[in-house]
Amino acid sequence: MSMIASVLALSALASCSDNIEMRYPPKYELPELPEVGEIHTYKAPLYWSVYEYCYEQSQQGVAEADMDISAEEWDRIIDWVATDLKPFGYDMICTDGFIPMLAKDGSGYMTHYGTMALKDLVAKCKEKGLKVGVYDNPLWIHGPRETMIEGTDYNFGSLYYDGSTSVMNPDAEDRWFHWAVAENPGTREFIDGFFKHYKELGIDYIRMDFLSWYEDGKDRGMGIVGRGYGRDSYARALSYIAESAKKYGIFTSLVMPHLYNDAEVEAKYGNMVRIVCDTGGGGWWHCSAQDKGKSYATWPNCMNMFDGFTYWSHISGRDKVIMDEDFIRLNKFETDAERETVVSLQLMAGGPVTVADQHNTIGDNLRFYTNSELLELNSDKFVGKPLSDKLNDRNNEVWYGQMSDGDYIVGLFNRDDSPRAYSLPLQDLGITGEWKLRDLWRHADEGVASTITATVAPHGCKIIRLSK
């Protein structure tokens, strides 16, 4: 019996005792959605995020109003990213939440991230050959109500909910954010102004958060958090965002979406979508262990990266929406095998690799981010698939796909706490004949074979390139 057949038998037994499997979110009827077209032309980004820096300050009790990054620390960050990461394709620095997002130039859009002017951050980064991404949402209103919307007779005050449209939770107030309502006059132009503003600043990437709160005002952990402007309004808003982002050449990442209707709206209008909960403390907990094998009808549909990539693997592919697993904090993993797994998983699934480790927390782990043989998958826009897209099926620990030159990449993962033996006939993956095998972590050729035989360490992986 092949290893795949053995795994299938084990999965059948497991499903009897743990019957939590993939459940697609509920269906919603929508009017015909406008076409934007040809937005899925990007590869997944490789970049560095301020997330860990801010998260740790928050854990230490620093209030968000008091949180900041000094100009000197920005210089250290930029120098480190440019020196140690950029040669391997990590060409961008991105802000996140936590630190105050301020509008100071009269336009009503964000100009400062704490004390750092975005124009100055862009200048510092471009001097080192780096791009800049910004955490912001085109539906968040930062400026005063009297600020005029360019090209219209409307001001920001017209964007607010005024009771003229129906909402899902009429007795609720929106928590934390002032939302621009898609149906209100001036909102489309406001969104276009948002992207124009960032284009003029030299911003290449926008991470927009809390989308589920706009859609239905519900948070699985917090309950009712806002009015909820409805499915039609949400779809309309994302179509406006997609058309302006395409117009100005800015990459969009959609964060905290419910992904209803099998991610119908998000896959249509976003370049990248979050498919898992926030990184938080990171480590194996976020990569594989948290609520393992469970899925939910609302965001986050899965709580760990591995399940999220598996659950949503059917929507990804070359020139399709990119799945985003949030950030990696290698310093929070306990073993090198785990570090190899978390980086490999991103690249096998066609996701971004987002470094959240800092120059003073990375330790000796930089080598896991800078494996040139693995990073070829990213530059090739490779997107692999699991052998099974069902949770609680051991076959989802086998991932594979084809490079543009005809080579195949096969990933064998082991989420268990003990070693796992594989004997995988390539024909079980639809790959015929004998192939040259190369281990991309060991950088070693392993001969010619039609079956991959390996023992994979606990929480580890083996990534093999097959070539003729």
Q: CATH code at 448?
A: 2.60.40.1180
In a domain, 30, yes or no: yes
In a domain, 244, yes or no: yes
88, with CB counted inside 10 A (0-12, 13-18, 19+), is middle
Tell me: the pLDDT tens digits for 43-79? 999 999 999 999 999 999 999 999 999 999 999 999 9
- Residues 30 and 143: their CA atoms lie apart, in Å, by 32
Question: 459 and 316, same structural domain?
Answer: no
Q: What pTM, to 2 d.p., does this model score?
A: 0.93
In a domain, 164, yes or no: yes
Last residue of a domain, one of 291, 324, 357: 324
Question: 318 and 446, same structural domain?
Answer: no
**Structural domain for 448, as ranges:** 408-467
In a domain, 269, yes or no: yes
- Residues 312 and 24: their CA atoms lie apart, in Å, by 9
Question: 421 and 320, same structural domain?
Answer: no
In a domain, 117, yes or no: yes
Question: 319 and 412, same structural domain?
Answer: no
In a domain, 7, yes or no: no
Is pLDDT of 20 > 90?
no
- Residues 465 and 135: their CA atoms lie apart, in Å, by 36
Question: 444 and 320, same structural domain?
Answer: no
Question: 445 and 316, same structural domain?
Answer: no
Tell me: the pLDDT tens digits for 163-217? 998 999 999 999 999 999 999 999 999 999 999 999 999 999 999 999 999 999 9
Last residue of a domain, one of 290, 324, 358: 324
- Residues 256 and 98: their CA atoms lie apart, in Å, by 16
DSSP 86-123: GGGT--EEE--SSS-EE--SSSSS--EETTEEHHHHHH
Contact of 152 with 186, CB cutoff 8 Å: yes
- Residues 387 and 412: their CA atoms lie apart, in Å, by 10
In a domain, 346, yes or no: no
pLDDT at position 21 is 52
Tokens representing residue 72 in the block: 């000197």
220, with CB counted inside 10 A (0-12, 13-18, 19+), is middle
Last residue of a domain, one of 265, 300, 324: 324
**Residue with the two structure tokens 């009897």:** 16
CA torsion 110→114→117→120, rounded to 10°? -130
Question: 206 and 83, same structural domain?
Answer: yes
Question: 88 and 199, same structural domain?
Answer: yes
Structurally, how many domains does the chain consist of? 2
Question: 442 and 319, same structural domain?
Answer: no
Question: 320 and 455, same structural domain?
Answer: no
Question: 113 and 234, same structural domain?
Answer: yes
Question: 320 and 426, same structural domain?
Answer: no
DSSP SS3 for 460: coil
Cis ω before 300 (30° cut-off from 0): yes
* φ, ψ of residue 452 in degrees (nearest 5): -95, 120
In a domain, 172, yes or no: yes
